[in-house]
Structure 1
Amino acid sequence: MHKITLLGTGLIGQFYAASLIGLRNRDEIKMVYSRTAENARKFAEKWNIPRWTTDLAEAIRDPETDVVVIGLPNHLHKEAALLAAEAGKAILCTKPLARTAEEAWDMLEMVEKAGVFHGYLEDLVYTPKTLKALEAVRQGALGKVLWARSRETHGGPHSDWFWKKEFSGGGALIDMGCHCIEIGRNFIGKDIRPVEAMCWADTQVHPIEAEDHAIGLVRYENGAIGQFEVAWNFRGGMDLRDEIAGTQGTIWLNHWLRTGFEMFTAVGPQGYVAEKAEGTTGWLFPVGDEIGALGYVHMFLDQLNALDQGRAPMETFYDGYVVNAIMDACYRSVNSKRWEPVELKEWRGGVSGEAQQALAEYDADHWIIKTETMPDGSLKYILRHKHSGEISQKIVPPTH
């Protein structure tokens, strides 16, 4: 059984509380922190939490709790992690781990020096659909993953601090690109080193200093490409989609706008529909189990079970650091308008060069480029000569 200090009472704090309370029927939130007394008190009353405070250090050092869950604005992550590490408590931190890779590395060093458990709360790699797709990929259903594309777009975040670059560290890229990049890493393989990134970002709609739209590519050591699309200017709700393409197969995932639950109403449901929904009338797309669909339930199960079992969770502070390093490269690319290297102080994955293609032979002299069945049932082979490189085709008539 774990007794938890929860830092933060915003939207993410609500999702975390809903996921944690009664999740394993033995963990309890005993202390909650908010920067305002009214928010802390109301949150504690809503979730039946016995103690609340507006003092960050007091919340973290609570003598009854052994786990600190950080659901605070980005600029407060490092301070909270330092206090929790000094208190010797297990630390679970929301995404992104930090505003920059340098800040994330400092946090990683803190927790490792203190010898405390650390987990990175990247919920979107824990959605039920994603976990099942990852298992299929690991079993070889797609062959070698060549390309992983992840998209998250909506009309913008709920709280003012997201829109302030000095607090958040950036705009849509750091807010949602962290999700998409880590989804790509999981499908391509977290032991495959990211080597460089190319990114476009701009502010197209909102009067802010940070970007409200970004599109980027991350190239990995084995030749695979991760692609992300993020925006705060998308109309119509929240769009969460992933596509993974391999040498032997493809996976498409649609997590939010098309969930199989579609409802039309002329008067509205008179309440909350789903995260980032823009309206309450017309065609709506509610979500049956929101915290489950977004990965929060499986995320906390993995993190707390890992703590009990003395193992590393699926996502650690090191993963958060790598994501921050990739985002730093993306921001440099926005300014330089060229590919920028992903700079890592330490790489803990595998070492490999460019993976060799699995080439199929047609005969002793030819590789198969493509095989296609024609309308009359014949087979067309597009071939490449092994020595001359000449491209040719051969048609084999149907056998019947």
Structure 2
Amino acid sequence: MPGTVYWLALTIFVLTTSEFMVAGMMPSLAAVFGVSAAQIGYLIALYALGMVLGGPLLTALFLWLKVPSRQALLWQLALYLLGAVVAASASHYGTMALARVITGVAGSACIGGALAICAETVAQEARGRASSIVLSGMMLATVLGVPAATLIDQHLGWRTSFWLVVALTAVCVVIVRALVPSSRESSGAGLGEQFRALGSGTLWAAYASSGLVIAAAYAAFTYVTAILTEVSGVPGTLLPILLGLYGLMNLVGNSLVGRFADRFTFAVLSSGLLVLGLALLAFALCAEQALFSVVAFLVIGLVGVPLSPALIVRVMRTANPGPLVNSVHVSVINAGLAFIAWAGGLAIQAGHGLKAPLWIGAVLALLALLTLLPRRVRASLAPAPLCEPG
């Protein structure tokens, strides 16, 4: 596996750490800016909003300007660096919110560009394994990066964590400039082809699989703290250990899926989704039993988010794996995250209990399985019209 793949993984590690580390700093940031914890939570939502809406637009701009992939990634990292500096030096909540939008836009474009360079660098039959290595940076961020940023915040202050992100982003710029090879062709050459691909129903079926899988996996993760402590009766002191084990299961599953995703893409996706759906169902049915809940949660960690390499391979086989196709893919995944956070919270507020997100996740896993069916089978399952035309 080329060294480029590992350098791209480091870049993804830094970006993902920056995205989620706010969650561990809520008390500090709320006190500094004089706002509620909910408003600090909006900083994560603003980052995601930038990824969903701005990332593909920024990517399309570089494609229109016919900037090669590596040069585009360097410019996008430079924009991210600017946003990170603004965040680290922010003295008002509005400034921090603006910085989060800027970094979200640049982050989405960077991830899409990194995956495009990854696809250019390796042979087609190795894209799944290469993608799993790149995405391991994302999973290591939740296991190591975010806890480290929280620890730094507690001992050295929140600005230190943000300035560390600035320093690491600068290091990534230097590494990409020095060690990532130039693209074989201009990324702008495929702009028209990528726009045409976005009109493909097959591609959007692949996108739908990704959004639904990630939403189903995060149905458990987003509300797991409340579910395990208030429903399952798990002591709060065990939560850091369980979350660490969940992250470890992510890494193990990501490695396993990466090894088989290229040769057995649909088999990996269908079997993984089946296990994911059953684990969510078991979690919902047995949430009052601590042992069953913990086991189900760890199984979800093994077969949920780690399906990402197979999802990426499916998208790359459906369309030209250029930056725009990958950036829209990142946007769809983040839209899935936003949806489950909204739908789960809405169901809980409506009085359906903390287990409601688990039931929603199980339904989403079933819908994701349906998106794997051939197009003609999906069409046959669609409801018939109420009357014939004319």
Output the TM-score relative to the length of structure 1. Answer: 0.26
Highest RCO, 1 vs 2 (Cα 8 Å, sep ≥ 6): 2
TM-score when scaled to structure 2? 0.27
Q: Which has the higher helix share?
A: 2
